[in-house]
Amino acid sequence: MGLRERKKEKTRLAILDAALDLFLEQGYESTTVEQIAGAVDVSPRTFFRYFTSKDHLVLWFHDHGEEIMLETLSSRPADEPAFTSLMHAMRAVLEDVEGSTPDDRERFLKLRRLLDEHPRLVGLSVARGAQTDRRLVEVVAARRGVDPDEDQLSHLIVAFASCTMRVGFECPRRDATVPEISRRMAETIELAERSLQPGWDR
């Protein structure tokens, strides 16, 4: 990894951190790209080379999470019920956060607080989730050997899984820690599994 790549990654994180702090301090809408860029001594034009949009700052986590979910999903035994596999994939995302650097964990928590305070951003997040869902449906349908356009159950399995994840992610405590969120998520998963008919996902 050359100097160039390291420098790019550093700039990327500097922008992200500056943005998260500004957002939490003075709100999302009232923070301009110019301010964010200014805070890390970069031109606004360059900002848009690192993040395709202001919104993308909030979604940076999703890109990573989606990747982990797809990887985990493909590593699960093919005969495991799809919903169970998806729950494992979801847990893998949280385990990844737990195992990451303190800086990354802090970014994760700041983002969570940000989402908590700005409903509009939750909308952004679920919209991005819908995109992930479409990809997950492809995988789930393939595993079940059905056509994703025809099989409603594949859609329902992914949809139920993804909203279980969302419900678990909403933690009532504003300053929740990572383990607290994990525990909350585990509770939600358990609740969802108790609510569903055994074998409903084949």
Partner DNA sequence: TGACTTATGGCACACTGTGACAGAAAGGTT
Partner DNA sequence: AACCTTTCTGTCACAGTGTGCCATAAGTCA
- Residues in contact with a second copy by CB under 8 A are 119, 122-124, 126-131, 134, 149-150, 152-153, 155-156, 159-160, 162-164, 166-168, 170, 172, 187-188, 191-192, 194-197, 200-201
Q: Among 46, 75, 131, 152, which residue sits at the site for DNA (rule: CB under 7 A)?
A: 46
Q: Where are the alpha helices (DSSP H) in 29-177?
A: 33-39, 44-50, 54-75, 82-98, 102-117, 119-144, 152-169
Return the structure tokens found at 131: 């995109």
- Round to whole Å and give the CA distance between 187 and 168: 8
Complex with a second copy: residue 65 or 168, whichever CB lies closer? 168
Contacting DNA within 140-179 (CB under 7 A):
none
Distance of closest approach, residue 19 Cβ to a second copy, in angstroms: 20
Positive or negative, the Cα torsion across 122, 124, 127, 132? negative
Select the residue interacting with DNA from 48, 109, 163, 167 (CB under 7 A).
48
CB 154 within 8 A of CB 136: no
Element (H, E) at 12: helix 3-26
7's contact among DNA, a second copy, none, with CB below 5 to 8 A by partner kind, is DNA
73 closest CA partner among 87, 62, 61, 89: 89
C-alpha 85/C-alpha 114 separation (Å) is 29
Instruction: Determine if 109 is a binding residue for DNA (CB under 7 A).
Output: no
Q: Which does 176 bind (CB under 5 to 8 A by kind): DNA, a second copy, none?
A: none
Q: How far apart are CA 23 and CA 57, in angstroms?
A: 10
Residue 42: contacted member of DNA, a second copy, none (CB under 5 to 8 Å, by partner type): DNA
Q: Are 142 and 149 in contact (CB under 8 A)?
A: no
- Cα-flanking dihedrals φ and ψ of residue 50, to 5°? -90, -40
x/- map, 3-42, DNA, by CB under 7 A: xxx-xx--x-------------------xxxx------xx
Contact call for residue 49 and DNA (CB under 7 A)? yes
The single residue among 9, 26, 27, 52 that binds DNA, judged by CB under 7 A, is 52
The yes or no reply on residue 124 touching DNA (CB under 7 A) is: no
Q: Which residues bind DNA (CB under 7 A)?
A: 2-5, 7-8, 11, 31-34, 41-46, 48-50, 52-55
